[in-house]
Chain A
């Protein structure tokens, strides 16, 4: 099965850079995705890493290292609106199910 662990909470100030880690134990997956969810809202897709390395999308970057069973989401130039929960997720190669990590609540302070 799949198990993805994230820190439960991260705090930072506006303008800062924050990294949200995702460590996993998995028997095989297609790639690592990241989703953002504001309180009371729906998860929205942020990024996907099919291969090892860094993917950059504006202020957000995501990294995957399969050899280290590790990935992270990097948020730069933090804004108040970035306060939300962030989930890493993998699609299991055997079952095709999207498995979510434990989630990290990011709080951005002025």
Chain B
């Protein structure tokens, strides 16, 4: 299984809602990532989990809260989002967090719209 899955594929939420994005991989990868991607722009790193511990938080607002329940799962909890948070949210995984040319495997993303 060389796949990263994400649910839901699409999400529309109001600014007062609470929702969660889910990501799962069964490749035995020990590093998992959340990226945000706006249209026609490159992915921007939000969070990195390495061996189930948060290793990088790119100064993301607290209305985004990541969680890594185990080595296969990664969640992103959303609360009180703003319309400018509308974007494609991508999850990725890699063998580990080291820098030696580690290929990252991306999920299909969740297209989030905040009204």
Contacts and interface: CB of A to CB of B under 8 A. Distances in A.
22 contacts: A31-B101, A42-B90, A42-B106, A42-B108, A42-B109, A43-B90, A43-B106, A44-B106, A45-B104, A50-B100, A87-B43, A91-B102, A95-B56, A96-B56, A96-B98, A96-B99, A97-B45, A97-B56, A97-B58, A98-B33, A98-B45, A103-B40
Interface of B: 4, 33, 40-43, 45, 48, 55-56, 58, 90, 97-109
Contacts of A101: 42
Nearest to A101: B42
Interface in A19-44: 30-31, 33, 41-44
Majority SS at the chain A contact face: strand
A28 B91 CA distance: 25
A105 B105 CA distance: 21
B80 to A, nearest CB: 27
Interface of A: 30-31, 33, 41-45, 48, 50, 85, 87, 91-93, 95-103, 105
A17 B100 CA distance: 30
B100 A30 contact: yes
Given A42-B90, A43-B43, A100-B42, A30 B109 contact: no
A1 B60 CA distance: 18
Interface of chain B: mostly helix, strand, loop or mixed: loop
B105 A45 contact: yes
Given A87-B42, A97-B56, A48 B103 contact: yes
Contacts of B106: 42-44
Residue among A43, A48, A95 with the most chain B CB within 10 A? A43
Contacts of A50: 100-101
A79 to B, nearest CB: 22
Nearest to A50: B101
A91 B90 contact: no
A42 B105 CA distance: 9
A98 B104 contact: yes
